Amino acid sequence: MKYFRLIWKNVWRKKIRTSLTILSVFVAFLLFSLLSAFSFAFRGGVDVADAERLIVIHKVSLVNLLPMSYLNRIAATDGVASVTHATWFGGYYQEQRNQFGQFPVDPDAYFAMYPEFNISTEQFEAFKRNRTGAVVGQELATRFDWEVGDRIPIQATIWSRTDGERTWEFDLEGIFSTDDPRGSTAIMLFHYDFLEEARAFAKGTVGWYILRVESGADPVQVAKSVDLLFANSPAETKTSTEAAFAQSFTKQFGNIALIVMLILGAVFFTLLLVSGNTMSQSVRERINELAVLKTLGFGDRTVLGIVLSESIVIMLIGGLLGLGLGWILVQGIAKQMAAFLPGIFLSPGAILGAIGLMIGAGVLAGIFPAVKAMRLTIIEALARA
Amino acid sequence: MSGILARLSGVSRIYQKGKEKVEVLHELDLEIPDGDFVAIMGPSGSGKTTLLNLLGGLDKPTAGTVKVGDAELSSMSNSQLSRWRSNHVGFIFQFYNLLPVLTAHRNVELPLLLTNFSAKERAKRASIALDIVGLGDRAKHYPRELSGGQEQRVAIARAIVSDPSLLLCDEPTGDLDRDTADEILKLLQVLNREHGKTIVMVTHDAQAAEYAKRTLHCDKGTLEAKEAA
Amino acid sequence: MRAINQMLAVTWLNLRNLPQRVGSSFVAVIGVAAVVLVFAAVLSMAQGFERTMITAGADDTAIILRDGATSELTSGMSNEQVLIIADAPGVLKDGDQSVLSAELYVIVDVKKISSNTDANVPFRGVQSGAFEVRKNVKLADGRMFEEGKNEIIVGRAAQQEFVGLETGTTIRFGQSEWQIVGSFEAGGSVSESELWTDVRVLQSAYRRGNSFQSVRVKLQGDSSLEELKAALDADPRINPDVFTEKEYYSGQAQGLTQFIKLIGYPLTILMSIGAIFGALNSMYSSVSVRGKEIATLRALGFGPFSILFSTIVESALLAFVGGIIGGAVAFVVFNGFQVSTLNGPSFSQVVFDFAVTPDLLVDGLKAALVIGAVGGLFPAIRAARLPVAQALREL
């Protein structure tokens, strides 16, 4: 727009003041990107959950185990396309703080259920052939510097072996990855048969079932049918969509989203004060010039627009810089924390929201001074000079 | 083309100051022919600045009409007046009133932003205006880098860049020394005689008034012609 | 002496006409207040959580888990092993009865009142020594559960946080029904987030045979822990981890506390940087507004250092006021506010209060003063160096 030069020059009238204001905006939006990326992680993978996968757990709590016999009964239920199982192994690698998910599974069925996992056919076949074999996700391999062929000892905290040992050793046969940056692969998969054979107790049980709904079937209905199957049995079930299941965890942490919003609220409130102050000082200093613009024929609303644009420009400069740095940092932080808190991600939605905020905050910070400028009577303003 | 450019008929301007009413202009009649260069002198508070404001559409009369060219200013809305001003009037102030954040060239270009001219066209016209006032070589300077006289010339260039028929000057030489003031006044004469601009100049300096074609005295809201000595 | 007088005089003058610069001063104050508020609020979560966990831990109680267990939940012990522990040296005896409680807990789903969504609540089976092996546990209302019956006593905090746990109600977990016959208090510690019943009834209801997860014993005296440890380590039939309860709970609290601090401190630092920019802005503006006054003072003979000093004091004072406001709001709004969250190691809810402690408030004020000092420094230098002649000319 042809007024841009004027707007730009006005923005930089007082270089130090503008720079400091821009820096405040920068910090605010840097915080916004970091906090929203964290908040996203706390949604527990809700956004990557497959709408057609359901999770079946023991009704009393996830910690209780389900009988293996349920597998065929679930498979036979109307609307169920396929079903498989997994169990929480709960061990650690070398030190107690190196905890991550290890799941004994049925390899073919599990990978079919989770097509988003990519693994080379070669590695997968090697894994299937080796009873004590295991595959791990790329994030885990990177974190612990594992290579195919390594022997990985896992200390079990729950599952002691029939031979009394607490250490379970696995041969790393493959490394898998996922294409979705929001998904996490910080897990290890091994053979259920191996667990079953070697564990000292709870034989014939699994932690939970995962089933895929037939296309066209209503997930809610299918979930109800499955739970009905096992109602009034010693091990009642609770079936929910993957998204709901993920959410049930994050909800237990507390209302993280609310906390983040409150913090950001405080940050942006302060930001508006700072920018508002800058804008009103800026207008106060230029009453004369604004009157001259009107004298030259610039309309009241044009003057309003010019002042508002200055405010928005300041927000955009600081905000885009903050968002940019935030984005870079999130990549790094996400990698570092992948095993503890997977899914740290600055979503496109958050970015759009941030830009909207920049414009909104620009308007809010500048509106009072801009209206003042708009309402200026030329004669009074010039007489003041 | 000679004819009457501006006509004030029965113009009064009354201000409300708290409970008091102050009548600054009283049933004034004034005709300004095309091509005129009129100086208006008078003590402060006599209403001469108000008169200028009315002519420029910056103020509206409490009674009477103000007609400049084809426009009846007293009946136009604020936005209409804004548009009219950008095309028909140029203002020159005592304290120049240039935007400090813009170069001389950009300051002169400012009124043209309100037009549909392309950037190239705007730049060309601004350069021409600066040349007319003799400051072509100072185009890239900021106001703070110019002397008082130079700043006023830039202001004049800005006032003529959209080719208005009427120039309104409020104490244009009030802040300048004698020699510089003379230069400015000579420039105004050139604009009047060679470029056909009608000029109304408010001043308290009798010597400045001598550059004009005629002088009017404004006292207590009324005008009187004084014969040139 | 003259220098000090100058400094004080100029400072006093400066502060007296602060009201003229209300706008930008206000901005600086609020900016700092926001930082201290967020700092205190976020870290009071860590403080509160830690306090709840650690309050639970007694020094004179030992907790014994199976070797390698990361928490009670992943531990497992047989009845024989419990008997061995009961007879071990170092265990306090009441007559010829050892003061201990062998325990086991499961996770049950109960809805949180605040969000009406399911939460993992610990349902613990205890023995008769349960109250003695803990500090400050006493019945609050109702009565103790009877052994052998499906009766529960509920921790105070759990009652307040989760749905349907009032004394006198019946609750259903899986196939069995339980009567809530009373509630207990435990000095605000994590035990109050739990449901307790007779361990044998729990074992039977959840098919745990005769197994336990942990044993808590009261220690005889100061050296008893080592005695106990040595004796148990030497015994080949048992392979235990022995801690004081205090140690155990500290360990359990670490994960979440560290995590909150990991978020809270960087967050505060970032916000402080923002506040410093805001303060710098305000102070530069303040200095330029005071331009005439400063020039006049300099012309009158006041040294540049007194100007510098007065500017920094102004900035520090504004920041301090902001710090007090932020801390006060944090205290009033957050202190004592009850929440609950999932604690990783125990995989169950811990109910705790936000604790805005004096330590936190002092730290907040320290941060405020730093912001004030840094935010005032450069403007102060500019003020002190303002060229007198130029400033006077602008009069």
Is chain B in touch with chain C: ≥3 Cβ pairs within 8 A? no
Which of C238, C268, C290 marks a domain boundary? C238
The overall average pLDDT reported for chain B is 89
CB contact under 8 A, C174 and A27: no
What average pLDDT does the segment C370-389 reach?
A: 84
- Indicate the residue of B58, B59, B114 with minimum beta-carbon distance to A298: B114
ipTM exceeds 0.90, yes or no: no
Report DSSP letters for C11-49, one per residue. Answer: HHHHHHTGGGGHHHHHHHHHHHHHHHHHHHHHHHHHHHH
**Cβ contacts of B228 within 8 Å, gap of 6 or more:** B210, B214, B215
Listed residue (A321, A314, A320) closest to A22, CA to CA: A314
- Where exactly are the structural domains of chain B? 4-226
How much is the average pLDDT of B185-198? Answer: 92
Residue B109: pLDDT over 90: yes
Within 8 A of A299 by CB-CB distance, chain B residues are 78-79, 82-83
Residue B17 burial by Cβ neighbours in a 10 Å radius (0-12, 13-18, 19+): exposed
CA-based R_g, chain A, Å: 29
Q: Pull the structure tokens for residue A318.
A: 């600081």
Question: Do A118 and A241 share a domain, yes or no?
Answer: yes
My answer on whether C75 and C129 are in the same domain is yes
Residues A23 and A146 in one domain: no
Q: Kindly give the residue spans of alpha helices, DSSP state H, lying in chain C.
A: 2-16, 22-55, 79-87, 156-161, 199-205, 224-234, 245-289, 291-300, 304-334, 358-385, 388-393
Q: Tell me how crowded residue B21 is: count the other CB atoms within 10 A of its CB.
A: 10
Quick one: A126 and A223 in the same domain? Answer: yes
Give the pLDDT confidence score for residue C395 in this predicted structure: 46
Q: Do residue A213 and residue A68 come from a single domain?
A: yes
For residue C136, the SS3 value is coil
* Residue span of the structural domain in which A318 resides: 4-44+254-384
| A interface test, pick of C27, C78, C208, C289 with most A CB neighbours within 10 Å | C27
> What is the percent of chain A with per-residue pLDDT over 70, rounded to a whole number?
97
- CB A24 to CB C281 under 8 A? yes
Tally of domains in chain C: 2
The CA distances from residue A160 to A131, A132, A203, in Å, are 18, 16, 12
Best of A13, A16, A271 to mutate (most C CBs within 10 Å, chain C): A16
Same domain, A247 and A365: no
User: Of C185, C205, C238, which residue is a domain's last?
Assistant: C238
Kindly state the tokens that stand for C364. Answer: 């907040």
Tell which A residues from 224 to 263 touch C, by Cβ distance under 8 Å: 232, 234, 236, 247-249, 251-255, 262-263
Residues C365, C40 contacting (CB under 8 angstroms): no
- Show the tokens assigned to A199: 């564990």
Q: What would the pLDDT profile of C350-361 be if each residue is shown by its tens digit?
A: 888 899 999 999
A17 torsion bin: left (phi>0), alpha (psi -120 to 50), beta (else): alpha
Q: What is the pLDDT of residues C61-94, one digit of tens each?
A: 899 998 877 788 888 888 988 988 888 888 888 8
CA B58 to chain A, closest CA, distance in angstroms equals 7
Q: How many CB pairs under 8 A join A and C?
A: 139
| Mean pLDDT, residues B136-164 taken together | 93
CATH fold of the domain at B4-226: Rossmann fold (3.40.50)
- Is it the case that residue C394 has pLDDT exceeding 60? no
Same domain, C231 and C93: yes
**C90 and C205 together in one domain:** yes
Domain boundary among C238, C267, C284: C238
Q: What is the mean pLDDT of residues A342-351?
A: 85
Which of B84, B85, B106 lies nearest to residue A295, judging by beta carbons? B85
Q: Is C205 on the interface with A (CB under 8 A)?
A: no
Q: Looking at per-residue confidence, does B222 or A85 come out higher?
A: A85
A27 touches chain C (CB under 8 A): yes
Looking at the fold, whether A237 and A342 belong to one and the same domain comes out as no
Residue C206 tokens read as: 């959840």
Q: What is the mean pLDDT of chain C?
A: 87
Query: Is A164 an interface residue toward C (CB < 8 Å)?
Result: no
Judge C/A contact: 3 or more CB pairs < 8 A: yes
Residue B207: how many other CB atoms lie within 10 Å: 12
* Contact residues, chain A, for B158 at CB < 8 Å: 296
Report the domain count for chain A.
2
Does residue A160 belong to the interface with chain C, where contact is any CB pair within 8 Å?
A: yes
C20 pLDDT more than 80: no
Q: Is A297 on the interface with B (CB under 8 A)?
A: yes
Between A63 and A277, the more confident residue is A277
Q: Which domain holds residue C93?
A: 68-238
Residue C146 has pLDDT above 50, yes or no: yes
Amino acid at B68: V
From chain A, pick out residues whose CB is under 8 angstroms from the CB of C339: 254
> Is the predicted pLDDT of residue C392 greater than 70, yes or no?
no
**Chain C residues in contact with A166 (beta carbon < 8 A):** 67-68
Binned at pLDDT 50, 70 and 90, residue B1 comes out as very low
On the question of pLDDT at C13 being above 80, the answer is yes
In terms of domains, do A171 and A54 share one? yes
A189 with A290, same domain: the answer is no
- Return the DSSP state at A56: E
Please identify, among A253, A275, A309, the residue that sits at the C-terminal boundary of a domain. A253
Which residues 81-120 of C have a C-beta within 8 angstroms of A? 106-109, 112, 114-115, 117-120
Identify the weakest region by mean pLDDT among A302-311, B217-226, C265-274: B217-226
Residues C113 and C197 in one domain: yes
**Residue A64 to residue C239: CA distance in whole angstroms:** 25
Indicate if A234 and A328 belong to the same structural domain.
no
At A182 the pLDDT is 67
Q: Say yes or no: C349 contacts chain A, CB-CB below 8 A.
A: yes
Q: How far apart are CA B46 and CA B11, in angstroms?
A: 14
A310 and A192 belong to one structural domain = no
**A130-171 pLDDT, tens per residue?**
999 999 998 888 888 999 999 999 988 778 788 878 889 999
Distance from CA of B76 to the nearest CA of A (A): 14
At A79-90, the pLDDT tens digits run: 999 999 999 888
CA distances from A181 to A36, A45, A340, C112 (A): 16, 11, 16, 32
Chain C positions in Cβ-Cβ contact with residue A92 (cut-off 8 Å): 70
Q: Decide: A185 and A133 in contact? Cβ < 8 Å.
A: no
Kindly report, residue by residue over A257-290, the tens digit of the pLDDT: 788 888 889 899 989 988 998 998 899 888 889 9
pLDDT, tens digit (0-9, with 9 covering 90-100), for A109-135: 999 999 889 999 999 999 999 999 999
- Please report whether residue C63 resides in a domain: no
From A82, A64, A55, A70, select the one nearest A223 (Cα to Cα): A55
Examine the pLDDT at C344 and tell me if it is beyond 80.
Answer: no
A224 and A343 housed in the same domain: no
Cβ-proximal residues to C319 (8 Å cutoff; 6+ apart), any chain: C28, C29, C32, C279, C368, C369, C371, C372, C373, C375
Do both A262 and A239 map to the same domain?
Answer: no
User: Which chain A residues have a beta carbon less than 8 Å from that of C107?
Assistant: 60-63
